[in-house]
A and B are shown apart, each in its own frame.
Chain A
C-alpha cells in the first residue's frame, strides 16, 4: 500500500505570501502556525512510474528560421556577398504505452534559400527530411536497460575534440561543440550498479555480414570526485582501440581528458611523395590524448558572466612532417582541375585532422557588463602547421522573438595548411533568427 501525502491545495495561497509581492518583513512570515496539516492520498501511480508513462504519448519539436547576410573578403579576389536563408526544425514523437517500454522517433527538417549576387540564380533547395533518431527502450527487471535503434550516443568527454569517440557518426565541430551529432544504429545494453555503469554497444551501421558487427564495451566508475571511463572498440577490418577518459573538478574548473591507443589507423596517409597516397599503417600503434578545462564565472552584480573552455589535443595520427600532407593537398588541388576522377580517390577525411597538436578554445561573455549584449569567441587551431580558424559573434538585444547577431570569422595559415590551405579569407556577417523556438 502506497502512502502518499498531499498538501492541501490551498496551502501556499494562505501562507502570508501574497502573490509574488513577497513579504520582506520577516516577522510577518513567522507570525502564525509553523506546522501545516496534511492529508493522505492513496492508490495513484508512483511518481517514478508516472514519469515513465507520462501521458502515454507526447509530440513536439523545434522550429528555426534564420537569415544570414555575409561579405567574404578573399586574398586576391573580389569580395563575395551572400544571403543565406535557413528554414527548418525537428519533430519528435514519444510513445510510452507502459513504464517498461517506449518508442521514440525524431525527424530533422531543413530547407534553404541561397542567393549569390552576380552569379547564380536563386535556388530553392528541396525540403530535406532526415531520420535523426528512432529507437525503443525496454529493460530486464529494471536492472539491465536496453536501447535499440538509431540513437545519439554519449561516448567520450572531450569538449572540442574527442578522439575516444569512434561511435557517433557525426564528428565534433570545434567551432560549434554543442551541436547535436548524428548517432549510430545500435543496440545499447546498460547495466548500472551503484555509481558504476557498464555499457555494451553493438553497432550495426553499414554492416552487411555478421562478422562486421562492431562491439564497444565501456565502464564508468567514480574515484573520489573523479569519474573514470574505460572502454574499447572492435570491428573487423578496422583499427581496434582502447580508451580511458576522466572528468572531474579542480577548484572552480571542470577538467576532463581522454587517452586512446589504437593498433593501426583507419586513415590513409601520404608517403614521402604525394602520389604515394594511399599508405596504410595497420600494424603501427597510435596514441591520442587530450586534456581540457571549462570555467564559469557569475559575479553577483552580473557584470562578468563568463564561460571559458580550452582543450589541447595530441593527435598520434598526425604527420610528423607537415610538408608530406601539404604536398598531398597541393596534389589534390591540381587533380581537381586536371583529373577530377583521380582526385575523387583521395578521401577528404584523410586531408583533415593531420596535425600532431591542436588547441580549441572558447570565451563567452553573457550579458556584457549587465547589458543585453553577449559575445562569444571560438578558436580552432592546428598548432603543427600554424593554421586555424577564429569566429567571434556579438548577440544583440532580442526584440520579441527576433534575435539579431553580428560577427566576424577568419582563417589563418600558410599555403596548403589545414585551415589556411585554399586562401586566407575574412567573413563579416549579420544574422537574425525569426520566431524560432521549441514547442
Chain B
C-alpha cells in the first residue's frame, strides 16, 4: 500500500512538473508585447497616409501585368481608398473601406458593391486587407515561437492562430526582427495547415513614427510561378481632406 502511495505521489509530482514546464512554454507575454509594439509602429494614428503603389503581377499563364494604384489611408476610423490608375481597362475602379465595410466601385456601371477584405485584389496575390492597418495582437493569439535567423537578421519566428474571421487565413507564421520588431516574412495557412501564401517585406522606410514596408512580395504557394510585387512610392503623410474617403470623391475622379 505504501508503495502504491509512493508511486501515486511520484506520478503527481511528474504531472505537476510537466504542467509547470507547459505553463512556462505557454507564457508568451513578451511575444504578445512585441506584437503590440509592432502594431503600434505600423499604424498611422496621428497622420494620414497616401502613396502610389506599382504592382507587378506575374502569372505563369497570362504573363506579366502592371497595375498602378493610388492609396489614401486613415487608420483613425479604419478607412482607405484605393483607386486604380493603370491599366486603362481598369482605370477608375476603386475600393473604399469604412470600418468593417468595403465597397468596390465599377465605373462602367457606376455601381458600388459590397465586398470583403479577404478577397484578392484585382486578381493579384495581394488581398484587400493588405492595404489597411494590420493588428496582429488583436486578430491572432500566439501559439508558439522560436528564435532564428533570416538573411542577416536575428528574428523571432512566431506561430499565430486567428481569433476571429477578420483575417483571410486561420493560421500564420511571422518572422519578426529582434532589434527593430518589424515583420520580414509571413506565411499564411489554411484550416488544414496547408501553406497558402508567403509574403516578404525586405525593405522598410520610416515616416514620422511609423514604419512601413516599401517593397512587398506575395507568393501564391498553390500556383507555381504566381507572384505579385508591390513597390511603394510618392509617400505622403499630409492631412487628407475628409471628402476623399467618400463615394462622392470616387465618382468625381472617374469618367
Contact = CB atoms under 8 A, between A and B. Distances in A.
Interface in A139-190: 139, 142-143, 145, 147, 152-154, 178, 180, 190
A145 B246 CA distance: 11
A38 B234 CA distance: 10
Contact of B243 (A137, A142, A225, A439): A142
Given A2-B238, A92-B255, A195-B101, A254 B114 contact: yes
Contact of B151 (A27, A104, A178): A27
B16 interface: no
A34 B222 contact: no
A48 B234 CA distance: 12
A347 interface: no
A2 B1 CA distance: 85
A51 B151 contact: no
Contacts of B251: 137, 145, 147, 190
Interface in A345-359: none
B56 A15 contact: no
Q: What DSSP secondary structure best describes chain B's contact surface?
A: strand
Interface stretch (A16-24, A65-73, A78-86): A16-24
Contacts of A31: 151-152
Contacts of A30: 150-153, 184, 202
A48 B50 contact: yes
Contact of A152 (B99, B110, B206): B110
Interface string B174-187: 00010010101100
A17 B229 contact: yes
Interface string A407-422: 0000000000000000
B240 interface: yes
B255 A7 contact: no
B12 interface: no
Contacts of A190: 247-248, 251
Given A22-B217, A51-B83, A298 B177 contact: no
Given A7-B214, A102-B252, A29 B111 contact: no
Contact of A195 (B58, B99, B109): B99
Contacts of B164: none
Given A20-B56, A154-B111, A222-B101, A34 B247 contact: no
Contacts of A94: 255
Contact of A5 (B72, B207, B240): B207
Most chain A beta-carbon neighbours within 10 Å: one of B101, B114, B233: B114
Given A12-B215, A102-B252, A227-B101, A34 B233 contact: no
B206 A192 contact: no
Interface string B83-127: 100001100000000111100000011111111100010000000
| Interface hub of A4, A5, A30 (most chain B Cβ within 10 A) | A30
B252 A137 contact: yes
B238 A300 contact: no
Interface in A391-439: 437-439
A192 B247 CA distance: 8
17 contacts: A3-B237, A5-B207, A5-B237, A7-B205, A11-B203, A11-B231, A26-B151, A26-B185, A30-B152, A51-B83, A142-B241, A145-B248, A153-B110, A180-B109, A192-B248, A194-B98, A439-B88
Given A5-B207, A26-B185, A38-B205, 9 more contacts: A2-B236, A3-B236, A7-B232, A17-B217, A34-B180, A34-B184, A48-B249, A192-B247, A301-B222
